[in-house]
């Protein structure tokens, strides 16, 4: 099946229900998996370069208008560096016709960001101090976003005959977008929204806007190649596209976020790096994902299949939030713990993709629930 967010019966039944292909697949036709890995790598490099341009231009434009570091890290840069994930969900729905590929990338990205980026920040820059604003606003609201997504999926069950399917309508997607709007209002309207930056008059705004648009185009081209590679790897391994996108595609698309976080921390702004993590994940779950739902005209979700992943994401979030709230500091030792948790997650997803474990099958979950 396409993945946890798709209408099929089990993640261990990998046949895709549509025959749509990406633009790159249509252009070059059937190729060996080696060719697709090369194309995916090129796409990754393009996405990396494009995301760097997008992040750089948004930061310069924000500095020009005196936008505070808190809003830059938690909102503007977070949304800008999330464009690869937004592009993935748009391409998977409009071009590939497979919502599961995009959804897998977004969920995998959420796990990557919440575990790997804080780990990299603490390991490369030492113990990282957090703030009440990061913990009680950004982190807590991200937790609310995870619960909101879980709640929407649960509500989707009410319109079905049983508890095996959740029908998520475009209206529910709009509801999640409203939740993101609330986050934006809280971020801009809070004390951290007041400008603590001086305007930089030397910035050529029109030039930066042009570079920003060019960066978005480069990201789109790169993401197209990575999505095509994901589908081909899935077909080669006879594994669900969702499970490949939740591991391989998500890690590749999240790499720019990782670099931004490390760059911020090395520049002495570890707090903004941590805030960017929560801001990025909030955007992905209650902005990018709902956009995919709306573009798809609604999606059918395997509710019981989604339980393990959503619970893993929720409890992972709780671990990070609690540790961040403890003395308002993330230590290097805790960073290694986060990294070990992500390695464990990759191991679990790999065994699921290869059919070694079947925790994500609805049959297994039904036994556990009953």
Q: What is the pLDDT of residues 200-238, one digit of tens each?
A: 556 788 888 899 899 989 999 999 999 999 888 888 888
Distance (Å, whole) CA 99 – CA 325: 35
- Which residues contact residue 185 at a Cβ distance below 8 angstroms, ignoring those fewer than 6 apart? none
292 burial class (0-12, 13-18, 19+ CB within 10 angstroms)? buried
pLDDT value for 238: 81
Would you state the structure tokens that stand for residue 100, as one six-digit string?
A: 């599961």
**Of the ranges 24-28, 78-82, 230-234, 299-303, the best mean pLDDT one:** 230-234
**Distance in angstroms (rounded) separating the CA atoms of residues 239 and 234:** 5
Split at pLDDT 50, 70, 90, the class of 174 is very high
pLDDT per position as a tens digit, 319-352? 998 998 888 889 999 999 999 999 999 998 888 7
What the block records as the tokens of 346 is: 């990759």
Taking residues 107-131, what's their average pLDDT? 90
Helices (H), 158-249: 170-189, 205-237, 241-244
Buried b (16+ CB within 10 A) or exposed e, 339-348: bebbeebbeb
C-alpha span between 53 and 216 (Å, rounded)? 8
Closest CA to 227 of 10, 40, 37, 86: 40
- Which among 142, 91, 352, 114 has a CA at the least distance from the CA of 244? 352
Output DSSP code: residue 135.
I
> What is the pTM (predicted TM-score) of this model?
0.82
DSSP state of 85: H
CA pair distance 230, 94, nearest whole angstrom: 16
Ordered structural domains, the chain, with CATH = 23-193+206-369 (1.20.1420.30)
């Amino acid at each position: 099946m396409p993945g946890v967010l798709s209408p099929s019966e089990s993640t261990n039944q990998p046949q895709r229900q549509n025959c749509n292909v990406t633009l790159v697949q249509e252009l070059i036709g059937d190729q060996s998996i080696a060719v697709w890995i090369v194309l995916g790598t090129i796409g990754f490099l393009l996405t990396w370069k494009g995301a760097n341009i997008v992040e750089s231009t948004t930061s310069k434009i924000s500095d020009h208008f005196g936008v505070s570091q808190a809003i830059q890290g938690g909102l503007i840069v977070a949304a800008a560096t999330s464009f690869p994930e937004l592009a993935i969900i748009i391409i998977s729905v409009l071009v590939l016709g497979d919502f599961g590929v995009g959804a897998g990338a977004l969920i995998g990205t959420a796990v990557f960001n919440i575990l790997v980026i804080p780990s990299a920040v603490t390991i490369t820059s030492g113990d990282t101090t957090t703030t009440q604003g990061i913990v009680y606003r950004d982190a807590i609201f991200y937790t609310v976003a995870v619960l909101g997504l879980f709640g929407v999926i649960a509500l989707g069950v009410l319109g079905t005959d049983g508890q095996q399917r959740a029908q998520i309508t475009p209206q529910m997607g709009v509801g999640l977008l409203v939740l993101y709007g609330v986050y934006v209002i809280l971020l801009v309207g809070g004390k951290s929204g007041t400008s603590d930056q001086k305007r930089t008059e030397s910035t050529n705004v029109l030039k930066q806007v042009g570079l920003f648009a060019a960066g978005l185009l480069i990201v789109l081209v790169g993401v197209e190649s990575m999505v095509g590679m994901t589908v081909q790897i899935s077909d080669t391994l006879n594994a669900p596209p969702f499970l490949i996108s939740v591991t391989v595609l998500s890690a590749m698309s999240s790499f720019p976020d990782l670099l931004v976080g490390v760059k911020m921390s090395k520049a002495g702004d570890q707090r903004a790096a941590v805030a960017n993590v929560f801001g990025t994940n909030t955007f992905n779950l209650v902005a990018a994902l709902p956009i995919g739902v709306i573009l798809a005209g609604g999606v059918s979700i395997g509710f019981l299949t989604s339980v393990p992943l959503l619970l893993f994401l929720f409890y992972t979030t709780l671990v990070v939030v609690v540790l961040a709230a403890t003395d308002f500091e993330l230590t290097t030792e805790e960073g290694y713990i986060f990294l070990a948790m992500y390695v464990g997650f990759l191991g679990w997803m790999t065994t699921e993709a290869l059919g070694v474990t079947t925790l994500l099958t609805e049959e297994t979950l039904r036994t556990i629930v009953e």
